[in-house]
Amino acid sequence: MPRILDGVAIAAAIKQEVTEEASALAVRGIQPGLAAVLVGNVAASEIYVRNKVQTCADLGIFSELITPPATVTTEEMLDLVATLNRRDEIDGILIQLPLPAHVDTKALLDAIDPAKDVDGFHPVNAGRLQAGRSALVPCTPAGIIEILKRSNIPIAGQHAVVVGRSDIVGKPAAMLLLHQNATVTICHSKTRNLGEITRQADILVAAIGRPGFITAEMVKPGATLVDVGINRITEKVEFERFFAGNAKREAAFAKNGSVIVGDIDPKAFELAGAYTPVPGGVGKLTIAMLMANTVRAAKMRRGN
C-alpha cells in the first residue's frame, strides 16, 4: 500500500514550533508582525487572507490587514509598501495575488524590503536561494521540503523531476531539492517525451496547474509523488474521469457541485511508494511556512 504523507499533521507540528519561537521572542519584548495587503473584493482571496490573519492570532504573531480599494493605483500601492518597509514592528509584508490588471504587480513585489519578503518572491531572495545562501524562501516549495524531510523520504542522491517552471513553485522547488543533493530535472508543458523523463523520477513534483496532468503511465512504481496542484472540477464528465466509483468523492460532488483534484491523476497514486494527497497534502503547508517565514524574518531583523 502506498504511504500517505500527511500534510495536516506536519503543518500542525510546524505551527507548534512557530508558537514556541514567537513565545521565546515575546520574552525579549519582540512580537513578530505581518502586514497582509488585500486589494479589492475577490472572494477566494478574502477567505485565504482571513485564514492567514487568524493563524497569526493563533500563533502569537501580530497581524495587520490592509484593504485598499480595487481602484487603487500602482503609485498608491508603492507608497503603501514604502510605509510598511519603514515600520519596524512589521517583519513581513504579504501582498495577496492576483492584483487588479491595472496595478504593476512586479513593481510592487520588487519594492518590498527583501528582509520583509515573507513570500520569497523578491529577486534578491531568489538570487540568494540560487546561491545557496540564507534567504526567505517561497512558502509552498519550502513546505515540499518539510514534508519530505519530516516523512523521512530520502532526497540526497535521488532523481527528482519537477514538472512546472513557475517562479513561485517550480523553480524554487527545483533549487531547494538541488541544495538537498538530489539530481534535479525541470520539465514543463513544452518538454518532449515528458513521460519518459517522469518515469525516471524517484521524487516527482507536479506543479503545472492542470488537473490530472500526470497519469499512471508517467509514474515509476514506488516513486514519491508530490502533488502541488489544486484544481476545482465542476463538470460531471471530468469528475468521472478521475473519481468514478469513489463513493466519498461522489457524495461531495453531489453536495457541492465540485471537487478538488491535483495535477496528478489519483489513479497514479496506486503505483507510488508515498504521495501527498489533494486536499490534505502540500496545500496545508503553505500558511504554516508563511508563519515560519514571518518569525524567521523577525529573528533576522530584530532577534539577534
Residue 31 appears among annotated catalytic residues? no
The single residue of 91, 113, 119, 227 carrying the catalytic annotation is: 119
Distance between CA atoms of residues 128 and 135, nearest Å: 6
Q: List Cβ neighbours of 171 (8 Å cut-off, separation of 6 or more).
A: 126, 165, 186
3-state percent helix, strand, coil for the chain, nearest multiple of 5 = 45, 15, 40
Which amino acid belongs to residue 226?
Answer: V
Residue 208 exposure: Cα atoms within 13 Å on the Cβ side? 22
Distance between CA atoms of residues 135 and 126, nearest Å: 8
| DSSP letters for 125-145 | HHHHHHTT-S----HHHHHHH
Q: List Cβ neighbours of 258 (8 Å cut-off, separation of 6 or more).
A: 232, 233, 234
The single residue of 91, 96, 202, 284 carrying the catalytic annotation is: 96
Residue 96 appears among annotated catalytic residues? yes
In the beta sheet, which residues pair with residue 35? Answer: 64, 93
Tally Cβ neighbours within 10 Å of residue 104.
15
What 3-state class would DSSP assign to 26? helix
Q: List Cβ neighbours of 115 (8 Å cut-off, separation of 6 or more).
A: 136, 297, 300, 301
Q: Please name the residue that has the C-alpha cell 519550502.
A: 142
Distance between CA atoms of residues 214 and 191, nearest Å: 13
Which amino acid belongs to residue 109?
Answer: L
Cβ atoms 253, 243 nearer than 8 A:
yes
Cell numbers linked to 258 = 465540485
User: Which residues belong to the active site?
Assistant: 52, 96, 119
